[in-house]
Amino acid sequence: MEKFAPVKRSEDGQPVRYLIVDDSVFARKNLARMVETFGGQVIGEAGDGVSAISEYERLTPDIVLMDITMPQMEGIEAAEKIVRDHPSARIVMVSSVGYQENIVAALQRGARHFVQKPVKPEVLYEVIKYVMRDDAVATRGAGAGA
């Protein structure tokens, strides 16, 4: 996997903290591996929309990577509920189902961005930097990476 300049939180220089939501354990592991190469820290995982909401409340991560098609509650509905209570929540939808209507629905309900599976690390990395904006900074030589 490529090496990426670690993305750290601007306020305290700590790793960006992620909540990964996907009903597939395999997908969660792969995303976790990927964000760790960006210098990030996975602080929680959830396998459906309902757990995603409670985990968000409990952990208040910097970024949520959220699948769309999941049992119990789908990702778009979970994103909407999280953003309703936490307007500053940064949620990136990560799904293989990326048709226009779905993307528009996700963005209208509060998601900040959409990444289609299979995820290319370089694409996700740029999206993370874009979504974090001034709240994070990418710096070489900070000790993380592949």
Partner 1 sequence: MRMDLIQPFINSTDAVLAQGLESPVSIENLTMEEEAYRRKGIAAEVCLLGEIEGRIIFDVDLGTAVQLATRLAGVEVSETDDLVREAVCELANQIIGNAVTSLNDQGFHFHVHPPTLHTSEQGSKTSEDTEALVMCFNTSHGNVFMNVALRHHCRQAVERSVVAG
What one-letter code names the amino acid at 20? I
The size of the interface with partner 1 (CB under 8 A), counted in residues, is: 24
Could you tell me which stretch among 5-13, 51-59, 67-75, 128-136 binds partner 1 (CB under 8 A)? 67-75
137 pairs with which residues across the strands? 8
Q: Is residue 27 part of the contact set for partner 1 (CB under 8 A)?
A: yes
Q: Is residue 98 part of the contact set for partner 1 (CB under 8 A)?
A: yes
Termini Cα distance of the chain = 7
CB of 65 to partner 1, least distance (A): 14
Q: Does residue 119 sit in helix, strand or coil?
A: coil
b (16+ CB within 10 A) / e for 36-75: bbbbbebbbbbbbbbbbbebbeeeebbbbbbbbebeeebb
Q: Is residue 41 part of the contact set for partner 1 (CB under 8 A)?
A: no
Q: Is residue 35 part of the contact set for partner 1 (CB under 8 A)?
A: no
Nearer Cβ to partner 1 (84/120)? 120
Could you tell me which stretch among 38-46, 55-63, 89-97, 104-112 binds partner 1 (CB under 8 A)? 89-97
- The residue written with tokens 């309703």 in the block is 84
Q: List residues binding partner 1 (CB under 8 A).
A: 1, 23-27, 29-30, 33, 69-71, 95-102, 116-118, 120
